[in-house]
Homo-oligomer: A and B are copies of this chain.
Amino acid sequence: MSDVLKMGMVGGGRGAFIGQVHRTAACLDGKVRMVAGCLSSTADKAIASGKDWGLADSRNYQTWEAMLEGEKKLPASERIDFVSIVTPNHVHFPVAHAFASAGFNVVCDKPLVHTGEQARQLIEATKKMGVVFAVTYNYSGYPMVKQAREMIVNGELGEIRKVVVEYNQGWLANNLEASGQKQANWRTDPKRSGAGGAIGDIGSHCEQLVSYVTGLRLQSICADLTSFVPGRQLDDDANVLLRFCKAGASNCEGTGPDSMDAEPGARGILTVSQICIGHENDLRLRVHGTKGTLGWLQEEPNYLVLRQDGQPEKVYRRGNGYLGERARGNTRLPSGHPEAFFEAFATVYSNACAAMRARSEGKGNVGGIGMGGAGGGFDYPDVVDGARGVEFIERVVEASASSEKWVRFAGK
């Protein structure tokens, strides 16, 4: 494996938003180069898009199946080191499964797939082939998110009691999909997006962020999904109550919804929406423990606020020497020179690439966070994290369908 990794991409052709983000992020450090691709499901567009990006004709493929075959035939030293899948959700499964099963490392956008069964198959293929399989939960790439995780692991918050996670957007407050806008169009279509609308697109980021930062495991949920825009088929607003397993419990028994009187596990609120006008990409997290509170906002990502009892509020700022190893090791600029979205995204890639290099050097365990790879030093969201996100979407949809939970308010 040479110094610069060779990336192939599926999806992300002309007009795509997230494909370009992936390319910029992957290449930010000058250590990845895109050498192959099938950039659209429409053959003509795929070819034209590949030309835009300087792909050699021989590796500018019309279908992802052709790309898989083409790359497999190349000598190992020329072949792509990994495939990056940036298509609408419904395409993730077949492409990811085929490439992983063929021994290629995979980077795949989120949410991973439509069903728990598909997720199970991807985990199986990943384990069988020993490949690196990263899921681009990009927000966990922010240095101050890593700092939050590290502080909690170190016990600086004590036992976690409450988590509040929000992801407020407003871009779907109107019937944008009717205009044919590409991103809105497929995200509001259950065939392509899956069973979740907002809860899938952005709720899954929330679930992963909470899991990554706190290490808590969900025990049970109660949910209210709504579709406000007339004619929309999927939820554009989701409000969810969360209960987490008691920390340290070998399982979640005894802390469940039936046991109000038992010592409680952590509680949480998750609220996501795409009809909050004027909110742009307002992902925010608050974690409350027995020793203190942490707060972080994606739109001002260089800060992390710690509040401890009887002490002034502390604002941790990216790039400073007082931060932990993870925050310092996953940053590119000195303090005050703000980093932002691209860098966090790039960090998911660079950490996954580190695992790929380790694999090529024969290291056994190259899993990421979900597979316990973090212990082995690989700090990227992996296929197990992706699978958990799929279950989360399924359970929220299920919980929302139950109507017995409501108590009527009589009013006066």
Docked CA distance A404–B222 (Å): 9
Interface string of A338-352 (1 = CB under 8 A from B): 111111000000000
Q: Which of B161, B162, B166, B314 contacts A312 (CB 8 A)?
A: B314
- Closest chain-B Cβ to A80's Cβ sits at a distance in Å of 17
A228: interface (CB < 8 Å): yes
A14: interface (CB < 8 Å): no
A107: interface (CB < 8 Å): no
Q: Are B221 and A409 neighbours in the complex by a CB distance under 8 Å?
A: yes
A90: interface (CB < 8 Å): no
Q: Are A407 and B403 neighbours in the complex by a CB distance under 8 Å?
A: no
A104: interface (CB < 8 Å): no
- Closest chain-B Cβ to A156's Cβ sits at a distance in Å of 12
Contacts known (A222-B241, A267-B226, A314-B313); A336 close to B280, Cβ less than 8 A = yes
A121: interface (CB < 8 Å): no
Docked CA distance A412–B334 (Å): 35
Interface string of A371-412 (1 = CB under 8 A from B): 000000000000010011001100100111111111111111
Q: Are B21 and A30 neighbours in the complex by a CB distance under 8 Å?
A: no
Q: Are A411 and B217 neighbours in the complex by a CB distance under 8 Å?
A: yes
Name A170-208 residues within 8 Å CB distance of B.
170, 173-174
Name A16-64 residues within 8 Å CB distance of B.
17, 21, 23-24, 27-30, 53-54
Instruction: Identify the interface centre among A174, A263, A264: most chain B CB within 10 Å of its CB.
Output: A264
Contacts known (A217-B411, A271-B269, A402-B407); A313 close to B317, Cβ less than 8 A = yes
Interface string of A309-323 (1 = CB under 8 A from B): 111111111011110
Q: Are B412 and A276 neighbours in the complex by a CB distance under 8 Å?
A: no
Q: Are A220 and B340 neighbours in the complex by a CB distance under 8 Å?
A: no
Contacts known (A27-B30, A239-B241, A307-B279); A403 close to B264, Cβ less than 8 A = no
Q: Are B277 and A291 neighbours in the complex by a CB distance under 8 Å?
A: yes
Contacts known (A226-B264, A404-B404); A409 close to B53, Cβ less than 8 A = no
Interface string of A252-285 (1 = CB under 8 A from B): 1000111010011001110101011111111000
Docked CA distance A19–B407 (Å): 36
Q: Are B336 and A338 neighbours in the complex by a CB distance under 8 Å?
A: no
Contacts known (A24-B28, A279-B293); A391 close to B408, Cβ less than 8 A = no
Q: Are A237 and B30 neighbours in the complex by a CB distance under 8 Å?
A: no
- Closest chain-B Cβ to A113's Cβ sits at a distance in Å of 14
A73: interface (CB < 8 Å): no
Contacts known (A29-B24, A406-B221, A406-B257); A335 close to B281, Cβ less than 8 A = yes
Docked CA distance A146–B313 (Å): 19
Q: Are A317 and B280 neighbours in the complex by a CB distance under 8 Å?
A: yes
When distances are taken between beta carbons in the complex, the residues of chain B under 8 Å from A258 are: 403
**A residues at B contact (CB < 8 Å):** 3-4, 17, 21, 23-24, 27-30, 53-54, 161-162, 164, 166, 169-170, 173-174, 217-224, 226-228, 230, 237, 239, 241, 243, 252, 256-258, 260, 263-264, 267-269, 271, 273, 275-282, 286, 288-293, 298-302, 306-317, 319-322, 332-343, 370, 384, 387-388, 391-392, 395, 398-412
Q: A217-B411, A278-B306 are in contact. List 12 more A-B contacts (CB 8 A).
A: A3-B54, A220-B408, A224-B267, A237-B267, A239-B241, A277-B288, A280-B334, A280-B335, A280-B337, A313-B315, A337-B341, A395-B408
25 contacts between A and B (CB under 8 A): A4-B54, A24-B30, A164-B271, A170-B293, A173-B290, A173-B309, A224-B241, A228-B264, A243-B406, A256-B408, A276-B286, A276-B293, A277-B293, A278-B292, A278-B307, A280-B336, A281-B335, A298-B336, A301-B338, A312-B322, A313-B317, A314-B314, A342-B342, A342-B343, A395-B409
